Structure 1
Amino acid sequence: MPTHSARTILRWSMTLALAGVSALAVAGCDATPGGDSDIARQVTVVGTGEVQGVPDTLTTEAGIEFVAGDVTSAMNQTSERQQAVIDALVDAGVDRKDISTTQVSLQPQYGNPDASGSANITGYRAGNTIRVKVERDSASQVLAVIVRAGGDATRINGVSYSIEDDSALVRDARERAFHDARDRAEQYAQLSGLRLGQVIAISEVAGEAPPTPVGMPMPRAMASAPPVEPGQQTVSFTVTAVWELS
């Protein structure tokens, strides 16, 4: 049986052991990594930039249509007239690489239905459409050439404008977007009482307004060049950037 002294020593040993365990637990909590002071402060902002330029290129869809009693006549007349249009464009200085066929069509034409609801084929409608791209300054004259060569069979299916080389506008829009993002980040830094640090990440989204469409009638004949106005085209950029705050 343990003596009184032995029991006293045992009690003190257990007390010290428990105290040691408690101290280790507290120390472990204080040493937890990743405290708030170690978390990097960041700000993520989105900046936009837009620039406008005057389009320098016009694109038009020019079609030829004929209706005839049989397929061969309809197709032949359409093909011959469209070829005349193409030849006239080339003679006017349009590069052949800027002329492309976009549609060839042939559809039967029906008369009025009879009492039973059926209708007979009365002829065929043939169509041939080309896309022509020209410089803005020659656009009016080119449209006049198309109509003069195509005659009453001409169909102008609208025009659109674009910028052939917009690389300078893209650079300008990107720069404006970045400056806009930085201004926003600096404002947030000031509002939070911090300083703007280094850029951590940048991502961008380019956007460009589609070519400006200009509605055109489908003329039967045109004696003079029609007036056309290109207006302006917008090139835009959106930038998402992340900055450090200190």
Structure 2
Amino acid sequence: MAAIKEPWGLSVLGAGSVSAEPRLAHVDLAVDLLAPTPKAAFAEAGAAVTRLRSVLREHGIPDSDVSGSRLQLTSQYRGYGADRTFHGYACVATYTVRTEALAGLELLIEDAVTAGANRVDAVRFEVDDKPAMRDEARHRAVAAARRKAEVYAQACGLRLGPVIHIEDVDPESLDVRSHGRRTGGDPEDDGSLTPGSVRVEAAVLLGFALLPE
């Protein structure tokens, strides 16, 4: 039978979340081509990049909302050991496109792929003020923890005392066996993102003193 070796009060976990419609999206695209010679690889990738830039401007996206890498060239091989053979030269350029025109996002991606961005690595939806959503989620997490603590205290015939411990918790790794704590990771980076909404979560571990009725 489990025993509390060092009784001190009441420890409870609270979680809260806030959802909002996305206001902008970040699309990770890449031009990724293979050619038999470096010259051909650079030429084909350069032409694809030019077409991609033109398409983005046609969609009203300024160059300032497009961040990209330089063309990178690597040798590609197939097989291993004695069976290893040269496959060609891969030329890659990656881009992240920021847009607030969510209604035209599907067409933008289709046109970008047609222009030569043959890899779509990710589509991330964001809100205007995620820090404010995070703060609200934390307020809700604290309120949830306090409500839970009040129920426990009342059920035990006690009064809830002041908070004597506050611990931020990563909401993505909640586990009843460890109060949701995780080694490593940054809870500032969490949040479940979907095209329909952006959900920001928070969790907190609160410790309360207990007082007699």
**So what's the TM-score if we normalise by structure 1?**
0.62
Distance 1:194 1:122 in 2: 74
2:67 is matched by which residue type in structure 1?
S
2:200 is matched by which residue type in structure 1?
V
TM-superposed deviation, 1:109? 5.5
**So what's the TM-score if we normalise by structure 2?**
0.70
SS in 2 for 1:93: coil
Distance 1:175 1:76 in 2: 55
Residue equivalent to 1:190: 154
Q: Compared with structure 1, are the counterparts of its residues 185 and 72 closer, same or farther at alpha carbon in structure 2 (3 Å cutoff)?
A: same
Give the 5 Å matches for 1:111-126. 117=83, 119=85, 121=86, 123-126=88-91
Residue equivalent to 1:146: 112
Residue 131 (structure 1) aligned to one of 86, 96, 101: 96
Give the 5 Å matches for 1:147-226. 147-150=113-116, 154-205=118-169, 207=171, 208-212=190-194
Distance 1:236 1:118 in 2: 49
Normalized per residue, the structure richer in helix is 1
TM-superposed deviation, 1:203? 2.9
| Counterpart contact for 1:102–1:131, Cα < 8 Å | no
TM-superposed deviation, 1:43? 2.0
Residue identity over aligned pairs, in percent, reads 29
Give the 5 Å matches for 1:1-246. 42-102=9-69, 104-108=71-75, 117=83, 119=85, 121=86, 123-135=88-100, 136-150=102-116, 154-205=118-169, 207=171, 208-212=190-194, 230-246=195-211
SS in 1 for 2:41: helix
| Counterpart contact for 1:110–1:123, Cα < 8 Å | yes
Q: Compared with structure 1, are the counterparts of its residues 44 and 81 closer, same or farther at alpha carbon in structure 2 (3 Å cutoff)?
A: same
2:110 is matched by which residue type in structure 1?
A
Q: How many residues align?
A: 185
Distance 2:160 2:204 in 1: 17
Distance 1:184 1:47 in 2: 8
Distance 1:155 1:43 in 2: 52
Q: Specify the structure having the higher radius of gyration (Cα).
A: 1
Residue equivalent to 1:221: none
